[in-house]
Structure 1
Amino acid sequence: MAAALGQAPGTRTASRCAPETVQGTHAFEIARHSLHKGMGAGRFLRSAAFAVGGHQWCIRYYPDGDVLEECRGYVSVYLELLSKRSEVRAFFEFKMYNHLTKSSTTILHTKAAVLFSTMDASKSSSSFGSPKFMMSGILEVQYLRDDDIVIECDISVIKPPLVGKTTMASEFELVGKTTMSSDFELLRRMLPSDLSSNFRNLLETKEGADVTFMVGGEAFPAHRIVLAARSAVFKAELFGPVGADDRDHITVEEMQPVIFKALLHFIYADTFPRAIMNDFCGDDAREFTKHLLVAADRYAMGRLKLICENFLCRNLDVETVAVTLSLADQHNCTKLKDACIEYMNSSNKISDVIASQGGFCMPARALYFSSMEEYMLWYVRVDLTWM
């Protein structure tokens, strides 16, 4: 017992296992996108091979979607490991470059590391991604510019862990303190911001809502401060120095509930309401977008208005171009107005357009105007309103 009491205290040692990651980004530009449509489901375009973390990768893009029936109307995107007989754990995210905002938007990201493997050819574990990456129509509205799209892929490859040398406990504690900031920086790069989804959840859960909008008999709870931060019109209405509206319930006239719902989605999530748009197709999608453009103009949501303009510019036809031109003129949509005039001039269909609206005196009236553009603007302002 005395000998035990006289022994020197045991030493305390420690070691540290620190995973390392290697990051890389590849941008896959697809020019003349319209020529690739119609390839058929299951057919894809493959990017050039690129190296990240000592392994070869590529991006696969399916213009007409994967072979699954549920992918119809969507584009599909996958990240593929090309290195033979390899196993790699990695995080990845896909982004689309938005020409309107001059920035990239995250469309898909992994919350946990994915195991890519080419060890067994019979197992399809060499590629991961999304078969329903995005609706084709949404891609063309937000991300297509001059028939060109850019898909970006960020990869964080997890390297085999390294165990550091054995150290005294005090030294280990010091190492932990000195590397903490770099660990946080690593996590920041690996995990993209979820600010947009947080605000969207705020809208969906209605937690903390302090105002309710009544639209066509439907109630939409919302948060005054969020609306004011995103729209100068809402700010003036809810917090303006004169006549600030402090009512708990506010009625919105002359707007459909589905349009107000889409407007709120954009205000909170800062993305085009794809889930709502999925319920519409063809002429219905065009009408939905027209109403959403009017709402965007009403509440001074300039970016949403531009997105709607872009969609309508790409979906003109003889039967609706005159009404669309009238809409563009009423809401000062210069780009859409020019697109309507160009459509009628380039296709030489002005007579067909007039006929589709029930007007057949276009040539005689047009003599009084200096240009066909001037006549068409007069037509949509006067003739069309009398019909």
Structure 2
Amino acid sequence: MADSGFVELKLDYTAAAERCAAGDVVHSGVLHAGGHAWRVGCYPRESKVDDKGEYISLYFERFGESSNNLEAIFDAFLMGGDGQPCSFHATGCVQYFYREILATPVYFTKNSKISVQKPPEDWGWQRFVNRRDLESSSFMVDGKVRIMCVVIVLRDNAVPVPPSDIGAHLGGLLDRGDGTDVSFLVAGETFPAHRAVLAARSPVFRAELLGSMAEDKMACIPLQDIEPEAFRAMLRFIYTDELPVDGAVELINGGSSSSSAAAAATTKNMTTELLQNLLAAADRYDLNRLKLMCAQRLWDAVSADTVAATLACAEAHGCPELRKMCLEFFAVDKNFKKAVLTEGYCRLMQRFPSVIDEIGALIESRDNADQR
């Protein structure tokens, strides 16, 4: 859980510039965040002795025992004379994210020995702001500069929790066929499954398998108007909530519900045609996440050769997000000139003439805008 703290460092720049050499530091007051005490070290002439002193350096420091599992965001920005934060020189509101080092050096102050976590260079900014730029800016008021410093602690000694593996477990259940109580016959291929899993994921399956429809009593349900590859990929998504990456989909060999051995896995490219069929299946069974994932894959692969077919798929299966992007693609002159020559465009004209009219209106609007 995040916890934050802040402190305003008020630097007497004129005095510090006169008496400080490179490597000399001016400290802020202490701030508290995430159960730790912090302070900020400001180096008016940079933090390294061999530096030229052209910049102000700024680093965060932590008091106390070290922690090997602490993550924090450090932020610092100049404050204007009106009390408003700046957007000056790209130093304002720039955040940094780091993990602590283990060693905890001991340092001495004039009053007592204290344990301070010495910051590495990436705990701040070696070149926080150019001194010449600062001196000529409105952030210098009466020789003084105000710097707001913020620490946000994201995690400290958290118990490591592994990522969810429920998808892997359910995917294994599908692969092994353990406890299946329903199967689907798709173009001669049989797909065993579990009624409860399908019903939990799809309201359409829930109505078919657990409601008063005829299918709720059938052990093997024949399906029409769906390709085996698309149904296989959809079934895999239902159990794992994932589509494969890198353009491949795991396909589990079909078998009867009596099969005891685990099905063998094969790999097939996620072609545009398969993605379109899968989007149609997702629409049919009200799997909106799968539908949008297919839409994104189709859009990633869109070209002048495929855009018409992809637009027809989006129009037929109610995917307004994909439809809008395809129309915008058509509105680009070079894309339109290539796409109208494809077979997909001819089919689009036959199935959805209103979409063709919409494309024409977009192009006319674009041409009118170009003439202005």
- TM-score normalised by the chain length of structure 2: 0.47
Give the structure with higher Rg (CA).
2
TM-score, with normalisation over the residues of structure 1?
0.46
